[in-house]
Amino acid sequence: MTSLAVALLPSVAGRVAAEPVFAFDSTPGKLPKTVVPTHYALDLTPDLDKLSFAGSEVVDIEVTEPTAHLVLNAVDMTIDAAAVDDEAGPEITLDAAAQTVTLAFPRPITAGRHKLRLSFTGRINRFGRGLFVVDYPTAEGRKRMISSHLEPADARRIFPSWDEPAFKASVALTVTVPQAFLAVSNMPVTQEESIGDGKKRVAFQPTPRMSSYLFVLAAGDLERTTADVGGITVGVVAARGKSVHGRYALDAAGGLLRYFNDYFGVAYPLPKLDLIAVPGGFGGAMENWGGITFFESRLLFDPATSASDARRGIFSIIAHEMAHQWFGDLVTMAWWDNIWLNEGFASWMQAKAAEALHPEWQTWLNGNGFKQAAMSEDARRTTHPIQQPIANETEAMAAFDSITYAKGQALIRMVENYLGEDAFRAGIRAYMRQHAYSNTTTADLWGALQAASGKPVAAVASAYTEQGGIPLVVAQASCAGDAQRIAIRQERFTIHDPAPQPQRWQVPVARGDVAGTSSETLLLDGVAEIAAGRCGDPVTLNVGDVGYYRVQYDAAMLAALTRSIDRLAPADRANLISDTWALIEAGRYPLAAIFDLLDRSIGDDNRAVVEQIMRPLSRIDHLQWGRPERAAFQAYGRTVLRPLFDRIGWDAVPSEPIDHALLRSRLIGMLGNFGDDEIIAEAKRRFAVFVKDPASLSTELRGTVTSLVGRYADRATYDTLLALGRKTTNTDERVRYYMAAASARDPALAEETLAIALTDELPTSLVGALISQVASQGEHRDLAWSFVKANFAALAAKQGPSFQNNFPANLMTNFTDAAHAAELASFAPAQATSGGRLVAARSYERIMTDADFSAQQLPAVDEWVKRRMARP
């Protein structure tokens, strides 16, 4: 697509981004900026049995104004001794609510350099914050390892520190661990010495200047395999015996390192990069500098058990975390109000890198659902700007949401498209060079892109980062003779928010014909009119699905597009379906619009399109829980999906398109959940054979077959699933079997599953997933919610301080009625912190949106289904 720069209207051109560029002194945060750490020499001795650690540190500090008080962060620890230079014995005050420690000295500390010495004792958690243990099964029995997870603000649980991202300092770690352990941190080991009693001390090279949340320590009975990539040692670290499954990750990381070195124009700055597989504690991955941690099954690939397409997910998550080594670690947002700089960019780069290194995956096309997730949040009253004030740690945690990741990703994509690939990359390279080892705000990024491109990036982009919400382009066609003219204007697109604050954007509107060939971009500010071929020609206005906006066509334009959907490119078919469904949710299109599109899309075998066909089907099905009409709706859903499955079949054929394996398992899962008896019976048959002969079931189908069998499990099958889950040492399989068991329809089995959540059978990170899985089965949502309420104190103690802020609010979105929304609003633990209140308000809005949509639209759905199914 080519971009045409169009003159900006003065009102917009004159607007400047409100946010200033980075300046340390004016960066938000709670700690005084008059004392700055430059280096931590840190010594830790964890005790994995007592779940505690002893620590000491010498911190080089620079004092810019004389002060008798040092204020730094510490939480859940005791400070045993403190001194600055020779001045010992300050009064030590820990403030648990502020998560700080204040050292009050009898005399002011003079301006200049000093050494702060602290010794302290802290806690090792069972939940994934600070330093934590994971117990995991092995062939020789259960083993225990430690790992760490610090973002956004948990370095303060490991060492007293200036734990805000703008306070960058180097860290030199020494740790004492059992002799047999492998210890991994940000930097290479410089020295290991045995100290007797089965223990050793391991010292690491000092890191460069970095933000405290990027520190990492992992240690256990681990092994490491490495490869040299242009002088950098890339390693995969995993539990002993499992690093062989890290081969794919190691290869992928090598290719990505070369790609990023080139793209960013600044070589990877550390001597090594480890990818560390942790079998529990947290669910995703964390970009600690030089030592990225991953939930084990997100990193390891076992050809005997993993579906071959699991490689795509592994590649993507490695690409995301490796992009952070530059965008986040080398150059860091100054404060959490700009967390999107980290996450939006890394999310964009994971797709960019996948398109470059694996074009056959069609990552942008297949990632359409990610943008849809952000757009459904962003249409509601409780949305927020990408850049938003962040007052504390709980609010920072709440900011790790789809607006930050997926809207951020979509915005970067749109900006790259507007500037062109080369100018955009030149700007990113300059930004890296200019801000390495330092911090930035969004204004710094726009400044670099503007300088490189000569285009008014900030004026266009700040409307997307500094205000929430989605632009809606409303199109109205008219004829002048044989020529078609399209009048376009913009509004704000909302769902369930009838009187939103009006907003303005500059929207890069890209017009295309049915072949997706001719297109142009214009910046729409207010209204415009464009020529679009001959009268009645179908026209699409977000061609390629690149823009972050929705389009509302007039009835004749929509009808023309619907009639010719099979002639549109896949990205435009997927986008037309998703826009149409969203406009129905917004009350702007009649319900029939989506059903007409679905009917015309039966048999479409593009995976991205099928995903968008499934979205309204799944959502209406979810709203149908407990209604007698659900069976008829599911029968209709089967008529939409079954013809494609009949063509694709159960077993792969050699010549099929590469996406068919994923499509096949999605269709089996969806049809099974929609009550397709034939599919359910065949899944059961295949699973029974698999139990006796695992090789009989292809790795591609294991996930979906196991999950279906779990859903329709009787007692014996349930027991088999749990037995398999308890036996395996493979984390991927373990999750698969437990989650399948947790899907069982039988209420007695669901109760048994919930009981497991109170034991130590699973790591804490999987306990939450287990309960959520039970709750996501509509018939058990009340059971799961009652269980959570009845056991709240026990669960919260086990799951850690984030549990109350997120878990109840997320669980409640399984409900679609006003009474449960009200219950959430008055559930005290969910309302206890400001971050928790944000999450709860979003869930409340979502439940109420579902409740009102159900009341308004389900009767019409029933009517439509009745007529549709009566058709011959």
Give the residues lining the site for Zn ion (CB under 5 A): 343, 346
Cβ–Cβ < 8 Å for 374, 410: yes
Residue 346 or 613: the one with the smaller Cβ distance to Zn ion is 346
User: 678 to each of 6, 638, 642, 669, how far by Cα in Å?
Assistant: 57, 11, 11, 12
User: 693 to each of 175, 485, 718, 737, how far by Cα in Å?
Assistant: 46, 64, 18, 16
Rounded least distance, CB 342 to Zn ion, Å: 6
Which pair of structure tokens corresponds to residue 123? 């806690």
For CA atoms 46, 47, 51, 55, the dihedral sign is: negative
Rounded least distance, CB 817 to Zn ion, Å: 35
Alpha-carbon distance 262 to 265, whole Å?
Answer: 5
Residue 294 or 844: the one with the smaller Cβ distance to Zn ion is 294
Give the gyration radius of the chain's Cα atoms. 28
Residue 409 or 764: the one with the smaller Cβ distance to Zn ion is 409
Task: Give the 3-state DSSP-derived string for 75-131, with helices as H, strands as E and coil as C.
Answer: CCEEEEEEEECCEECCEEEEECCCCEEEEEEEEEECCEEEEEEEEEEEECECCCCEE
Which pair of structure tokens corresponds to residue 270? 């550390």
Residue 408 or 703: the one with the smaller Cβ distance to Zn ion is 408
Is 151 part of the annotated catalytic residue set? no
Cβ–Cβ < 8 Å for 565, 600: yes
Residue 343 or 377: the one with the smaller Cβ distance to Zn ion is 343
Which pair of structure tokens corresponds to residue 465? 């980062």
Alpha-carbon distance 654 to 658, whole Å?
Answer: 10
Rounded least distance, CB 405 to Zn ion, Å: 7
Residue 343 or 659: the one with the smaller Cβ distance to Zn ion is 343
Residue 152 or 669: the one with the smaller Cβ distance to Zn ion is 152
| DSSP secondary structure string for all residues of 523-558 | EESSEEEEEEEETT---BSBGGG-SS-EEEE-HHHH
End-to-end CA separation in angstroms for the chain: 44
Nearest-10 Cα torsion for 538, 544, 550, 551: -10
Rounded least distance, CB 309 to Zn ion, Å: 22
Cβ–Cβ < 8 Å for 148, 216: yes
Residue 257 or 708: the one with the smaller Cβ distance to Zn ion is 257
Rounded least distance, CB 320 to Zn ion, Å: 5
Residue 57 or 343: the one with the smaller Cβ distance to Zn ion is 343
User: 122 to each of 46, 82, 104, 125, 132, how far by Cα in Å?
Assistant: 9, 15, 21, 10, 11
Residue 343 or 850: the one with the smaller Cβ distance to Zn ion is 343
Phi first, then psi: what are they for 139, rounded to 5°?
-60, -25
Rounded least distance, CB 344 to Zn ion, Å: 9
Alpha-carbon distance 52 to 827, whole Å?
Answer: 33
Rounded least distance, CB 343 to Zn ion, Å: 5
Cβ–Cβ < 8 Å for 62, 112: yes
Task: Return the number of other C-beta atoms located less than 10 Å from residue 324's C-beta.
Answer: 25
Q: Which strands sit side by side in the sheet containing 130-136, from one edge to the other?
A: 130-136, 143-149, 217-220, 182-185
Rounded least distance, CB 754 to Zn ion, Å: 32
Residue 146 or 346: the one with the smaller Cβ distance to Zn ion is 346
Indicate the pairing of strand 527-534 with strand 483-493: antiparallel
Residue 284 or 420: the one with the smaller Cβ distance to Zn ion is 284
Q: Which of 296, 321, 377, 611 is catalytic?
A: 321
Cβ–Cβ < 8 Å for 641, 678: no
Alpha-carbon distance 124 to 121, whole Å?
Answer: 10
Rounded least distance, CB 374 to Zn ion, Å: 15
Which pair of structure tokens corresponds to residue 749? 């089995």
Phi first, then psi: what are they for 753, rounded to 5°?
-60, -45
Residue length, the chain? Answer: 872
Which pair of structure tokens corresponds to residue 605? 């075998």
Q: Which strands sit side by side in the sheet containing 189-196, from one edge to the other?
A: 87-88, 77-84, 112-123, 52-63, 35-47, 170-178, 199-204, 189-196
Indicate the pairing of strand 170-178 with strand 35-47: parallel
Q: Which residue is nearest to Zn ion (CB)?
A: 346
Alpha-carbon distance 77 to 297, whole Å?
Answer: 32
Catalytic residues: 321
